[in-house]
Structure 1
Amino acid sequence: MRRTLGFILILSTMLLSRSTVFAQQTPTPTKMNFDEDWKFSLGHAADPEKDFNYKIANLFAKSGKAEKTAIDPKFDDKNWRGLSVPHDWAVELPFTKSANVDVLAHGYKPVGGLFPETSIGWYRKHFNIAKADSGHRIQIQFDGIFRDAQIWINGFYLGNHQSGYLGVNYDLTDYLNFGGENVLVVRADATQYEGWFYEGAGIYRHVWLNHFDNTHIVPDGVFVHAEVNPVNAAVRIETVVENLGLTDQKVSVLNYITDRNGKKIAAGISQPLNLAVNGRTTATQTIELNNPRLWSLEDPYLYKVVTVISVDQKKVDSVTTRYGIRTITIDASKGLFLNGKHVKIQGTNNHQDHAGLGSALPDALQYYRISLLKEMGSNAYRTSHHAPTPELLDACDSLGMLVMDEQRLLNSSPEYMNQFEQLIKRDRNHPSIFMWSIGNEEGLIQTTSIGKRIAQTLIAKQKELDPYRTSTYAADLANVATGVNEVIPVRAFNYRQFAVADYHRDHPNQPLIGTEMGSTVTTRGIYEKDSIAGYVPDQDITAPWWASKAETWWSLAAENPFWMGGFIWTGFDYRGEPTPYEWPNINSHFGVMDVCGFPKNIYYYYQSWWTDKDILHLSPHWNWKGKEGTPVDVWVNTNADRVELFLNGKSLGKKEMPRNSHLKWSVPYQPGTLSAVAYKKGKKITASVQTTGTSYAIRVTPVKNTILADGKDLAIVNITVVDQKGREVPDASNLVEFTVSGNVKIIGVGNGDPSSHEPDQYLAGGWKRHLFNGKCQVILQSGKDQGTVKFEAVSKGLTTGSAKINVQ
């Protein structure tokens, strides 16, 4: 849901006051990005003096009392670091070896209770607002702060927000200096973890400044749902309106629908309401839409539902909701149907970090990551194990990816009920969401009567707020139906794949889905176990005791219609939770892609059976100097019918391809060309790997060469090395240095090595990274000036690689 912009906002920077200035009255309603021009400094959890006197000063003795602290509007922050959010200060910190299990699980970053000197972050922002805006409501909106955030405006305390994964809004109106400077202050306390994986630290999602009339639509106050039949859709729109003015108001609510380009195609009738002072009410309207274009995985078409609030025939508020019309049906015997078409869930679990950036992901990276998953054949995404950033859901809506949206904890206390309610209200208009999850692996209570009662409370709330979807709970249990599983509508399995059939036999009327499946551990480009460096072979052969190989679970899910499908653990490697090794590992091995999004070999197993593309992939690479004559296990992943393998033109035999499986040959190594010829329904497909020469030149491959001059867009640049014949060298490990000219900056680097302790960010410049098995990645972010910039990658003894990026 987005507030309609439709305004011209003039921004400037006053050097003397260091303030963002609204140089003219800001028209309402607006939702203005508030990410730029923040000041940042680390505090100290154990030393109040180093924490800018926090916990020394008597802050709560009087309203607005903030002297001698960083909360004071007059505090001198000129020596603080200037930055824009989203910002994750944890990713900037060095890796720290620790025996503590939670530090290990969080990727060995010095954040948490054991690291008081690097676990508190202070943010300050100066801004001005025109006097003419004094009749408006002005609200600050934080989409995500990790975590335990204390927030002040002009020394006045606004509140404490605990969740690191759901945002918070505060009305600033009463405390603002209209026509003068204002100072917003945030203290983020990351000494307490929420999860058991890398979580980051700081204001790591967007911040917005919202202007609206005293009579307005409440935040997340529009709920859209469509009842669909073969010829039309009845689009039901519920709008919550409130009056925070000082007099009663007569209000009218009008809704209309446009196509994706903004052309009005259907409208309702203006609905009158009477609102008392501080009154709040819900207006409900239904609009008939003939022959709707349905949202689907292949055609994720989005309409726009526009809701307009007027007082005395003057528009005072408007909200535009992107909405996809579609139907979801779940059958206990046959699985899931989208718009009446059967869909097997081919999903991935993912945390929210990426190489080089930690958890502070620009919007463009959300779209990039979802596009990589779709290319593999994935059609669903589980937000494990917390509320996602809104932009991730926007990407799934736009690109066609189903979503299971998950609550952080199975808890019905006021704190967590508020989080659950906020999650559903915020996200329920997204067509990508097909199911809610009320929690994950709550081993202490999941089989108890306490767990059952908590689940019932959460399920009742879900049905109240969104009666059109259902819910599940991710249970690490076999054929067990006590506690949460007695009452949950959809039974979900984390692993325990061999118990699914037994459970279906005993509970034939309960739909089943795999919420965590697989968990093969692999290291991209590695083919021998190395417990010292912390690497495992890049094939589907190694899984923890509690998990399974990819082929094991998918063969079961694919062949049994009562399985709705499942979500593999995971789509991407992620920071923290290193498995099966600990230090020097600092991230997981679970992904079918590494932390940069470079595919591992298991990627091609899933792509073979999750798509209709012509897939024929050989592994490993064919650079094995010194192993001449030694047998090498060659894997072939394909969805062809049969394959013939060749070494230097000599046939090594033909094999039929078993469905949902792979083929393997043992081949005595000889340098040259390993090739395969496959036939798929009579169509010939070929693939090969070659022994390469030594590294000769750097190859620079931008994912896109043109980016927007908006200060936010990205150019993701992948780096490889080639030999003199232009063949990519798969085992190259060169150190590569990066420079970029013009109005573009490097914001992160990575290479997918789960044991690399190189910095992800070089705040003082001098950006560089070693290749890991032939690859590394650089993330560039645009400035606001148009032009062409040059990116260069340099390594000693190699020909320099370069690329031009157009910023427009």
Structure 2
Amino acid sequence: MQSGEALLATGFADDIDPAIRSRERLDQDWRFALGHATDANKDFGHGLRAFFFAKAGYGDGPASREFSDAAWRLVNLPHDWAVELPFDGRGNTNHGSKAIGRNFPENSVGWYRKAFTVSPADKGRRISLEFDGVYRDSVVWVNGHYMGTEPSGYSGFRYDITDYINFDGENLIAVRVDATGEEGWFYEGAGIYRHVWLTKTAPLHVAQWGTFVKSTVNGAQAYLDIEVAVDNLADADQTFQLRHEVYGPDGRKVAEVETQSLNVAGHKTGLFTAKLAVTTAALWSLETPNLYRLRTLLVKDGAVVDVYNTRFGIRTIVFDPDKGFFLNGKNLKLQGANNHQDHAGVGVALPDGLQTWRLNQLKSFGVNAYRTSHHPPTPELLAAADQLGMLVVDEHRMMGTSPEIKGQLERLIRRDRNHPSVIIWSVGNEEWALEGNPLGTHLAIEMQAFVKRLDPTRRTTVATSYSGKGVSLGADVIGFNYGAQHDVDAFHRAHPDKPAMMSEEGSTLTTRGIYFDDRARSHLNAYDRQGRPGSSLSIEEGWRRVQERPWMSGMFIWTGFDYRGETTPFGWPAISSQFGMIDTTGVLKDTAYYLKSVWTLEPMVHILPHWNWAGREGETMDVRVYSNTEAVELFLNGRSLGRKVIVKDSHLKWEVAYAPGKLSARAYTGGKQVARAEVVTTNVPAQTRLSPDKITLRADGEDVSVVWVNVLDKAGHIVPTASDRVYFETTGPIRILGVGNGDPNSHEADCVADRHTYQNVGSWRSLAVDVIEGRPEWVGHGVDTSGWRDPMQWMPPEAQPPLTKGVVLQGRFDRSVIAAGDKIALFIDQLSPDQKIYVNGDLVSAQSVDGALKIELAAARFKDVNTLAYLLRTPEGGIPGIADRSVGGSKWGTLRVTQSAAPWQRSVFNGWAQVIVQSTGAPGRAVLKATALTLKSSAAAFNIV
């Protein structure tokens, strides 16, 4: 069986002839720039062109093919521009206090442009552009033609762009993204933060997400019911055959079937079924996540015209109202975690490898289920869950039955219903306007019936903060959000036929490595306790209550990871939540070790707090121990403080007078020591250490390594109070994607990038001249151009003046705000091969950059009002011709001021930080180096293959 990463990379699609079906990632080399949410002039003139939205093909500003984006940044997807923005007290604390939203129109719109080619050999095929997710309110143009708008930041969407493709040259995708509005109450990022694909098929093909494999297990045998949707985008009816081949986890064919003489009318979709049997089924489970592949071949006139691969698993799932959840007939408690798509350093733009890494971090303390709160997940998360053996509650964004909401729900179900990891669909979360009234009951029933028509194999749930009325009565499986807010026993007695789960529990508030509250720094001690008394329970109490109720299917902790935003109980300057069992970088907090002690079997023991308390000698410390063994004995500097027996699902506690040295715990089962842990008083910080999760990366420009950064003393112990600032640099074919440290109060940059501001040269005037000379009265600074022609003003053909030998174009721009160290450049057009360019009357030279010309300028040359002048031979067609191609003059001159990115750096928080590095696409040896002012440096070497 292939490795998880290999499967994630290939998606089983590597054996499809691209001449039959191809699906290419369009993630590399997008041009990006910030526009403006309220000022069209600062939004590159978008929306100002005549007939812009009245006529087809009149995309203007960056949506126009003629627009020059040479001055824009080059970025790869996934991309989140919000994570690059500074923190600001005027920002929404629920969104992490980033400088984005209503108060920051200059940061809230982003433009993306990408050029691509399509071979003439693809004529006759259907070509589609697919977006896995754009946050949010995206508008897409292809070759200047409007494709559509998608308001959701989480639903994938697709445009058939066949009719707009230029097969003989370059094609252009332009995407305008407006993140001014918000969908959630948590950090949501901004931009094209998921993958983009270009798909090519024959007119007769399997539809997008067009297969559905339903399995029934009977002893060792499994029966497969297959549904296939076939699109016929040809004019005539089509007759064909479908052949289904099933390949097992080891890659060998285990079953096949063929159906003959099928027919789909022109421009229609047909739905076809088939049945197969797998004689000895390898079930998908948490321990053995066996995956099968369905290979569907569409054959017409003896030739294969389409191949479609579907990954699926064979397993059974049951939510029982009396006994809880069953997987493959085995009763299993859901040990779950809620999570948003947000990670330190990269925001919501997670590389695929980081999805896998995060799931492994959750699995390390016993998590077996993941709730995608509160929106559809990225497809790669589910692929990783399939491969690793992680159960998933797949959640829709909003309750409702309007066409838009139902359309988004349908896309979610069709996209995800073959994933064996998905065990239930969640159609809503804490819909307060619905939870207590009949409309909530009705909508829950309607939505669940709609889901059932799309997927009869799974049940549905709604997560509620109030039960007894409304939504909870209509829920198929009730999801209780926080036991303290419900009388779960009374609800179960009143509705004994309704299965249940704790869809959220905990909401505890802890800061990693902090053991005394420091509210001035937004730090809260890490001891498990009720985070919001009366509304939620401690982690320990919540789990005990679930364990005591066999009918409760399980518990989903709020949350697995800390995330930006929702800074309860603080506002600014706090910038991230503290609900997580692990911090924003993935370092386990002490509460994660409690869960590890009750959710895993491998003997373990954990001590808190750390043992660095200089100045508190003799003070009594609250020492707690988590372990899954029978008993633990605690020692201070070799002296026993007593052995205690562990009460199931609980912890041990000692009151210990602090003395420097070593606090150690020895854990026993059956009288034998089976685990040991210690915390020591460290010396002063002396050195850094880098610990990559892997040192061999694929040279694909996508693979990542997650690198822990620690500050150690001379003895090699992590200093749990260290806060040293560490600087990072790379050599070789790797780049840094982001850094973090898990401090909910840190305003250091997670992601550094050049910051560009743009200013169009405007007030253009033209003068026809008979000689091509740089006369001061034509190209000099301060020339009176009031009597010159406005080149943008349309004139009828009969009013056009006769052509002269030459023409002068002059535009003006004001002095920009320029800080010390800023880089300044003018990007101009190549209007003729022998043109001359003047800036403030001085003849300047330019270098060719991406189809444009770039002039580097010094700040000392700037005046309050500046001029840019072209002197050139009059082109064929005269001024109207070059004006038509100028995109409102913006192509003739754009001033860019660049604030260069700061060096990569991060302060460790309580001894820890993190760096995420990615291969650049070339093979070779690479090194990440860490330096700090008073510490010994360290390095990590990588092989890129």
Bucket of the pairwise TM-score, normalised by the shorter protein: over 0.9
> Following TM superposition, by how much is the alpha carbon of 1:237 offset from its aligned partner in structure 2, in angstroms?
1.0
Summarize the Cα distance change of 1:204–1:721 in structure 2 as closer, same or farther, 3 Å threshold.
same
Report what 2:58 is aligned to.
Answer: 65
Secondary structure, counterpart of 1:270 in structure 2? strand
Contact 1:387 1:405 in 2 (8 A): yes
Contact 2:483 2:502 in 1 (8 A): no
1:227 aligns with 2:216: yes
Report what 2:743 is aligned to.
Answer: 753
Percent of aligned positions with the same letter in both sequences? 47
- One of 272, 278, 288 as aligned partner of 1:283: 272
CA distance in 1, matches of 2:923, 2:157: 35
- One of 575, 583, 592 as aligned partner of 1:586: 575
Report what 2:694 is aligned to.
Answer: 704
Report what 2:512 is aligned to.
Answer: 524
> Quick one: which amino acid aligns to residue 53 of structure 2?
F
Report what 1:560 is aligned to.
Answer: 549
- One of 479, 491, 513 as aligned partner of 1:492: 479
CA distance in 1, matches of 2:560, 2:672: 30
In the TM superposition, what are the counterparts of 1:3-42 in structure 2 within 5 Å?
A: 4-6=13-15, 27-42=19-34
1:95 aligns with 2:95: no
1:691 aligns with 2:681: yes
> Quick one: which amino acid aligns to residue 471 of structure 2?
V
CA distance in 1, matches of 2:672, 2:161: 66
- Please say which structure displays the higher CA radius of gyration: 2
Secondary structure, counterpart of 2:262 in structure 1? strand
CA distance in 2, matches of 1:75, 1:55: 14
CA distance in 2, matches of 1:772, 1:297: 34
> Quick one: which amino acid aligns to residue 657 of structure 1?
I
CA distance in 1, matches of 2:394, 2:906: 35
- One of 509, 522, 530 as aligned partner of 1:534: 522
CA distance in 2, matches of 1:777, 1:42: 28
> Following TM superposition, by how much is the alpha carbon of 1:5 offset from its aligned partner in structure 2, in angstroms?
4.1
In the TM superposition, what are the counterparts of 1:79-158 in structure 2 within 5 Å?
A: 79-98=71-90, 103-158=92-147
1:208 aligns with 2:190: no
Secondary structure, counterpart of 1:405 in structure 2? strand
> Quick one: which amino acid aligns to residue 494 of structure 2?
D
Structure 1, unaligned runs of 5 or more: 9-25
> Following TM superposition, by how much is the alpha carbon of 1:3 offset from its aligned partner in structure 2, in angstroms?
7.8
> Following TM superposition, by how much is the alpha carbon of 1:251 offset from its aligned partner in structure 2, in angstroms?
1.4
> Following TM superposition, by how much is the alpha carbon of 1:654 offset from its aligned partner in structure 2, in angstroms?
2.1
CA distance in 2, matches of 1:6, 1:75: 39
CA distance in 2, matches of 1:721, 1:486: 53
CA distance in 2, matches of 1:543, 1:723: 34
> Following TM superposition, by how much is the alpha carbon of 1:28 offset from its aligned partner in structure 2, in angstroms?
2.6
> Quick one: which amino acid aligns to residue 105 of structure 1?
N
> Following TM superposition, by how much is the alpha carbon of 1:645 offset from its aligned partner in structure 2, in angstroms?
1.1
1:52 aligns with 2:61: no
Report what 1:547 is aligned to.
Answer: 536
Report what 2:733 is aligned to.
Answer: 743
> Following TM superposition, by how much is the alpha carbon of 1:129 offset from its aligned partner in structure 2, in angstroms?
1.1
1:403 aligns with 2:392: yes
Contact 2:241 2:258 in 1 (8 A): no
1:501 aligns with 2:489: yes
Structure 2, unaligned runs of 5 or more: 1-9, 754-900
Summarize the Cα distance change of 1:765–1:287 in structure 2 as closer, same or farther, 3 Å threshold.
farther
1:394 aligns with 2:383: yes
Report what 1:788 is aligned to.
Answer: 925
> Following TM superposition, by how much is the alpha carbon of 1:580 offset from its aligned partner in structure 2, in angstroms?
1.4
> Following TM superposition, by how much is the alpha carbon of 1:746 offset from its aligned partner in structure 2, in angstroms?
0.4
> Following TM superposition, by how much is the alpha carbon of 1:2 offset from its aligned partner in structure 2, in angstroms?
5.5
> Following TM superposition, by how much is the alpha carbon of 1:796 offset from its aligned partner in structure 2, in angstroms?
1.3
Report what 2:622 is aligned to.
Answer: 633
> Quick one: which amino acid aligns to residue 486 of structure 1?
L
Ranges of 4+ aligned residues in structure 1 off by more than 4 Å: none
In the TM superposition, what are the counterparts of 1:610-625 in structure 2 within 5 Å?
A: 610-625=599-614
CA distance in 1, matches of 2:286, 2:618: 48
CA distance in 1, matches of 2:496, 2:265: 52
Contact 1:750 1:778 in 2 (8 A): yes
Report what 2:830 is aligned to.
Answer: none
CA distance in 2, matches of 1:656, 1:492: 35
Summarize the Cα distance change of 1:732–1:132 in structure 2 as closer, same or farther, 3 Å threshold.
same
1:513 aligns with 2:650: no
CA distance in 1, matches of 2:741, 2:473: 45
Stretch moving more, 371-380 or 648-657: 648-657
* Cα deviation 1:742-796 (Å, max 9, x = unaligned): 0100010000000000001122351110000000000000122222211111111
CA distance in 2, matches of 1:656, 1:31: 59
* Cα deviation 1:573-622 (Å, max 9, x = unaligned): 00100011111210000000000000010010000000101110011111
Summarize the Cα distance change of 1:2–1:425 in structure 2 as closer, same or farther, 3 Å threshold.
farther
- One of 163, 174, 195 as aligned partner of 1:174: 163
Contact 2:604 2:676 in 1 (8 A): no
Contact 1:642 1:654 in 2 (8 A): yes
1:74 aligns with 2:66: yes
Report what 1:374 is aligned to.
Answer: 363
CA distance in 2, matches of 1:193, 1:368: 28
CA distance in 2, matches of 1:688, 1:611: 20
Contact 1:243 1:280 in 2 (8 A): yes
* Cα deviation 1:3-30 (Å, max 9, x = unaligned): 834468xxxxxxxxxxxxxxxxx62301
> Following TM superposition, by how much is the alpha carbon of 1:502 offset from its aligned partner in structure 2, in angstroms?
2.3
Secondary structure, counterpart of 1:664 in structure 2? strand
> Quick one: which amino acid aligns to residue 936 of structure 2?
T
> Following TM superposition, by how much is the alpha carbon of 1:542 offset from its aligned partner in structure 2, in angstroms?
4.7
Secondary structure, counterpart of 2:420 in structure 1? coil
Q: TM-score, normalised to structure 1's length?
A: 0.96
Stretch moving more, 779-788 or 593-602: 779-788
Report what 1:655 is aligned to.
Answer: 644
* Cα deviation 1:411-434 (Å, max 9, x = unaligned): 111100001111000000000011
* Cα deviation 1:515-545 (Å, max 9, x = unaligned): 0011111000111111110000011035023
CA distance in 2, matches of 1:2, 1:600: 34
> Following TM superposition, by how much is the alpha carbon of 1:491 offset from its aligned partner in structure 2, in angstroms?
1.2
* Cα deviation 1:67-95 (Å, max 9, x = unaligned): 4x111101111001111111000000000
- One of 582, 591, 598 as aligned partner of 2:587: 598
> Quick one: which amino acid aligns to residue 4 of structure 1?
A
> Following TM superposition, by how much is the alpha carbon of 1:262 offset from its aligned partner in structure 2, in angstroms?
3.0
> Quick one: which amino acid aligns to residue 490 of structure 2?
D
Secondary structure, counterpart of 2:439 in structure 1? helix
CA distance in 1, matches of 2:680, 2:284: 44
Contact 1:5 1:29 in 2 (8 A): no
Report what 1:720 is aligned to.
Answer: 710
> Following TM superposition, by how much is the alpha carbon of 1:104 offset from its aligned partner in structure 2, in angstroms?
1.1
Contact 1:2 1:319 in 2 (8 A): no
* Cα deviation 1:350-372 (Å, max 9, x = unaligned): 00000000000000000000011
CA distance in 2, matches of 1:301, 1:387: 24
CA distance in 1, matches of 2:65, 2:20: 27
CA distance in 1, matches of 2:96, 2:220: 53
Summarize the Cα distance change of 1:262–1:677 in structure 2 as closer, same or farther, 3 Å threshold.
closer
CA distance in 1, matches of 2:726, 2:464: 45
Q: TM-score, normalised to structure 2's length?
A: 0.82
CA distance in 2, matches of 1:742, 1:156: 41
Contact 1:4 1:29 in 2 (8 A): no
* Cα deviation 1:418-461 (Å, max 9, x = unaligned): 01111000000000011111100011122212212211221111
Secondary structure, counterpart of 1:396 in structure 2? helix
> Quick one: which amino acid aligns to residue 803 of structure 1?
A
Secondary structure, counterpart of 1:408 in structure 2? coil
> Quick one: which amino acid aligns to residue 324 of structure 1?
G
Secondary structure, counterpart of 1:633 in structure 2? strand
Secondary structure, counterpart of 1:283 in structure 2? strand
